[in-house]
Amino acid sequence: MTTQARSSKPGPRRTLTENAIMDAALDLLDEGGVNAASVRGIAARVGVAPNAVYTYFPDKAAVIKAIVEHLLGQVDLAVFSDRNVPWRQRIESLALELRERLTAHPGAVNLMIGGPMDGPRALALNEHLMETLRDSGLDAGEAARASYLLIVYVFGSIALEAAELGDGPRGISEAEKIASRLEGFSAIPATSYPLSAEAAAIMATYVSTQQYRWGLHKVLDGLTRT
C-alpha cells in the first residue's frame, strides 16, 4: 500500500457520549446562561454537527431536562439509606450537598425551579426525602407537603444567592462575598433605616453556609413541632 493510499484513509471517528454533551452544556450554562446552552452551541463545543446532538436530545427542552437530571444524579442518595443516622442529620447532609453542587453551576439553579422536576432522578430524590420525613413521625400527607417546603427552601436560597452573584466573578470565597456585602450594607443610613443599619453585619452573612443551616434548622423545627 502506498503512502498516498494510507493518507487517504479517514481518521478515527469522534466518539460522542451523553456525558460529553452534559459537560459541554454545563460549561456553556456557566459561561453564558440558559441561552448559551443550545443544541448548536453544544455541538460546536464538542466539535460535531448539530445532528449528532439531536441523536441524543431532540430539542433544547430535552437538553435542559437532562442537565437537571445529570446534576441530581451526582447527589448521593445513600445519605438517606442508613436509618441509624438521625433523620434530621440525613436531611441536612442532603441540603448541604445540593447547595455545594448547585452553587458550582449557578446557571443551573433556575433550571431546577423553572419547571416540574419529574425526571427519574428528581422523583427518586423526592421519594427518599418523603421516606425520611416519615421517619420523623409525619404522616404521608404531611411528609409530602414537608418535602415540597424543604425543596422550596433549599432551591430558593440557592437561587437568591446565584442571582446576587449574577455576572460577577466566579470562584470567590464565602468570606469575600460576605465582606463585599458588608461594605455595601455599612452605608445604610441609620437615621432612615435604624434596624437595617444595626443588622448590617448579620445581613451581610445571608449568603453564608451558617445562615443556610440556620434557616434549615428553623424549618425542620417547625415541621416537627406539636
**pLDDT number for residue 14:** 45
Taking the C-alpha atoms of residue 66 and residue 12, their distance in angstroms, rounded to an integer, is 28
Taking the C-alpha atoms of residue 147 and residue 153, their distance in angstroms, rounded to an integer, is 10
Could you give the percent of the chain with pLDDT greater than 90?
Answer: 44
**pLDDT number for residue 6:** 43
Nearest-CA neighbor of 59 among 74, 37, 44?
Answer: 37
More confident residue, 171 or 125: 125
Is the CB of residue 87 less than 8 Å from the CB of residue 135? Answer: yes
Nearest-CA neighbor of 111 among 177, 211, 22?
Answer: 22
Q: Output the nine-digit C-alpha cell for 207.
A: 449568603
Taking the CA atoms of 200, 203, 208 and 211 in sequence, report the sign of the dihedral they define: positive
pLDDT > 60? residue 2: no
Is the CB of residue 122 less than 8 Å from the CB of residue 177? Answer: no
Question: What predicted TM-score, i.e. pTM, was given to this entire model?
Answer: 0.81
pLDDT > 80? residue 167: no
**pLDDT number for residue 1:** 47
CA distances from 29 to 20, 55, 173 (A): 14, 21, 21
pLDDT averaged over the chain? 85
Q: How many residues does the chain have?
A: 226
DSSP states along 165-225: HTTS-SS--HHHHHHHHHHHHTTS-TTT-HHHHHTHHHHGGGGSHHHHHHHHHHHHHHHT-
Residue 3 one-letter amino acid: T
Taking the C-alpha atoms of residue 132 and residue 136, their distance in angstroms, rounded to an integer, is 7
